[in-house]
Amino acid sequence: MSFQAGSAVLVDVEASSSGSAHCPKTSDLGTRLISAAAMMGAAGTALAIGGRVLDGFIALVGLVAIAEFAGLVLKATKSVLWQGIGLVFGAAYIGVAALFLARLDTYFLIAALGVVIATDTGAYFFGRSIGGPKIAPRISPSKTWAGLLGGMFCAALWLASWAGAFYYIGGHYTFTDLIDAMWDDAIGAALLGAGLALVAQAGDFFESWLKRKAGVKDSSRLIPGHGGVFDRIDGLLPVALVVGLLSTLF
pLDDT 10s digits, 30-41? 787 888 888 889
- The model's pTM: 0.82
User: In 3D, which of 91, 54, 44 has the Cα closest to residue 70?
Assistant: 91
CA distance 70 to 61: 14
Q: For residue 110, which amino acid is it?
A: I
Q: What band does 137 get if pLDDT is binned at 50, 70 and 90?
A: confident
Amino acid 247 reads: S
Cα separation, 116 vs 202, whole angstroms: 12
Give me the pLDDT at residue 160, please. Answer: 87
Segments making up each domain of the chain, as ranges: 24-244
| Buried/exposed 39-69: b ≥16 CB within 10 Å, e otherwise | bbebbeebbeeeeeebbebbbebbebbbbbb
The pLDDT of residue 99 is above 90: yes
pLDDT of residue 24: 47
pLDDT of residue 180: 58
Distance CA 23, CA 9 (A): 9
Residue 245: alpha-carbon gap to chain centroid:
17
pLDDT value, residue 167? 60
- For 37-41, 171-175, 219-223, 235-239, which range has the lowest pLDDT when averaged over its residues? 171-175
For 112, the enclosing helix (H) or strand (E) is helix 106-130
Q: What's residue 215's pLDDT?
A: 95
Half-sphere exposure of 7 (CA within 13 A, CB side): 26
Q: At what angle do helices 236-249 and 106-130 cross, to 10 degrees?
A: 140
3-state SS class at 18: strand
pLDDT in tens, 177-227: 555 555 566 778 889 999 999 999 999 999 999 999 999 999 999 888 788
Neighbours of 82 (CB within 10 A): 12
